[in-house]
Amino acid sequence: MSTQSVNAQVDFDLPLQDTNLQAQLPSSIQQLQLRNVQVSADGLVLQINGIPKMSASRIASPDRIILDLQTTEVAPWIHNSLIAVNRYGVKQIRVAQFQKSPAIARLVFDLDNNSPASWQSSFDQTRGLLVLRPLGISGTSNNPSNLPVTGSTVANNNLATTIDGLSFNGYGQLVIQASRAISYRTSLDLATNTYNVTIPSTRISSQLRRPILGSNSPIEQIRLNQVGDAVVVSVKALAGWQIRETARTNTQAISLQLESVGQVATGNPQNPRSQIQPSYSNNNGRQLVVIDPGHGGPDVGATRNGVYEKDIVLAMSKQLGRILQQMGYSVMYTRTEDIDLDLEPRVQMAENARASAFVSVHVNSLDASASQVNGVETYHAPGASLGKNLAEFVHEQIIASTGATDRGVRSARFHVIVNTSMPAILVETGFITNPSEAARLVNSSYQERMAAAIAKGIDQFLRSYRR
């Protein structure tokens, strides 16, 4: 848990400096709707029916800008969407309804090293387009009236469309990125559990970027083949995992969602329709547990002697998910890879999926001077009686099964358990700063014992809760 709250706000010129904006602000507060976010040659284009009051802050490690649009509703089709940008020093933009009443739309810009220090905004009243333009980045025009607003209109027809990269985003999705707007079709090879994406009229970029697959990645292999004038991307998942396409928010990208499949068959396995049902669907009568491995990517969590919390909790979480599936539960992970993931998307995933329970898995740490401290703490949100109940079931099982020091059921205002509406807990599974506990935490059979105890506690809670 230790590094979750260290994201300090850094000095930052408010990125939206345009005095003209103030003059154009409507005198009465009107409800605005953000309908789309697109990337163009002139900047980032927000389709919105007026000028919202905006506030921006820049946050370090990882470097990002948070832009809040006041009194703005996010259209449902772009809520919780992720838009690949890969220019203007911005890797991607995450869009979500941050608050419902009063409405606040939040855009999070994940930045790369070329990020400009300040941005300028202008509003095209007739077309309802708010354009955010980076300052000091060459190659951008200053003429918003000629603004192309779709990927296809900026296309130069003399160049072939290329498949430029594959990467994991913050939602556990594999994103295929192209140089221009693309269409595609998909097929699933049941025999090999391989998902094929065929993208016509494209070729593979000579500078193709590919993700590094971890040893415990649910993806076994990713292959790209040029077949005639089409590129075929073949993603082979491990048994127990499936891939499905997601709603498109960007014509230049295809996002594939990776999900674990329950052990209990939900239909005829020969029928591809039942095979590609999302595993978190509650229609099959099974309850869903969302498992949240803490930290990830550059946020390593607690660390000692080259051992990272993010790796221990990911391994433990996968064991936990497997055991819960064997018990008949549906399982969804907030991350299955070593990726950077904010706290709010973790909450949103559980909320959107209407999970029955949420469990965040962490490893504790203290100063070197307190290396004798060891044991397990299980947290619930203050005043959350069901959360407390769940914490008590799980904690009792962990202590009985692992023999770890009992540091008690506690309450604390951790973001992921305070902001989730279902019973939610955060388990600090031990202290990485205690040498003997650290040795147990990296041991896979101890991890499995911990996971089994957590699963048993969740099962007991959900059974008693159902009655």
Closest CB 417 distance from Zn ion, rounded Å: 12
- Residue 294 binds to Zn ion (criterion: CB under 5 A): yes
- Residue 165 binds to Zn ion (criterion: CB under 5 A): no
Closest CB 360 distance from Zn ion, rounded Å: 8
**How far is 181 from 202, CA to CA, in rounded Å?**
10
Q: Which residues are catalytic?
A: 428
- Residue 301 binds to Zn ion (criterion: CB under 5 A): yes
Q: Which is nearer to Zn ion, 73 or 309 (CB)?
A: 309
- Residue 335 binds to Zn ion (criterion: CB under 5 A): no
**How far is 42 from 45, CA to CA, in rounded Å?**
8
Closest CB 3 distance from Zn ion, rounded Å: 7
Give residue 86's identity as a one-letter amino acid code: N
Q: Out of 346, 362, 380, 395, which residue is the one contacting Zn ion (CB under 5 A)?
A: 362
Selected range binding Zn ion among 1-9, 43-51, 324-332, 450-458, rule: CB under 5 A: 1-9
Q: Which is nearer to Zn ion, 6 or 212 (CB)?
A: 6
Residue 270: other Cβ atoms inside 10 A: 8
- Residue 253 binds to Zn ion (criterion: CB under 5 A): no
Dihedral Cα 271, 242, 443, 313, nearest 10 deg: -130
Exposure of 442 by Cβ count < 10 A (0-12 exposed, 13-18 middle, 19+ buried)? middle
- Residue 1 binds to Zn ion (criterion: CB under 5 A): yes
Chain positions 32 to 91 lying near Zn ion, rule: CB under 5 A, are none
- Binding residue count for Zn ion, defined by CB under 5 A: 4
Selected range binding Zn ion among 7-15, 32-40, 290-298, 384-392, rule: CB under 5 A: 290-298
Q: Which is nearer to Zn ion, 172 or 293 (CB)?
A: 293
Exposure of 172 by Cβ count < 10 A (0-12 exposed, 13-18 middle, 19+ buried)? buried
Q: Where are the alpha helices (DSSP H) in 213-371?
A: 272-275, 309-326, 343-352
Selected range binding Zn ion among 118-126, 355-363, 370-378, 415-423, rule: CB under 5 A: 355-363
Selected range binding Zn ion among 81-89, 121-129, 358-366, 381-389, rule: CB under 5 A: 358-366
Closest CB 135 distance from Zn ion, rounded Å: 37
Residue 156: other Cβ atoms inside 10 A: 7
**How far is 287 from 197, CA to CA, in rounded Å?**
31
Closest CB 316 distance from Zn ion, rounded Å: 12
- Residue 296 binds to Zn ion (criterion: CB under 5 A): no
E strands, 49-118, in order:
54-59, 64-70, 72-74, 81-87, 90-99, 104-111
> Closest by alpha carbon to 4, among 433, 413, 409?
413
**How far is 415 from 401, CA to CA, in rounded Å?**
28
- The answer to whether residues 174 and 242 touch, using CB atoms and an 8 Å cutoff, is no
Exposure of 339 by Cβ count < 10 A (0-12 exposed, 13-18 middle, 19+ buried)? buried
Selected range binding Zn ion among 79-87, 294-302, 325-333, 345-353, rule: CB under 5 A: 294-302
Q: Which is nearer to Zn ion, 166 or 313 (CB)?
A: 313
Which residues of the chain form contacts with Zn ion (CB under 5 A)?
A: 1, 294, 301, 362
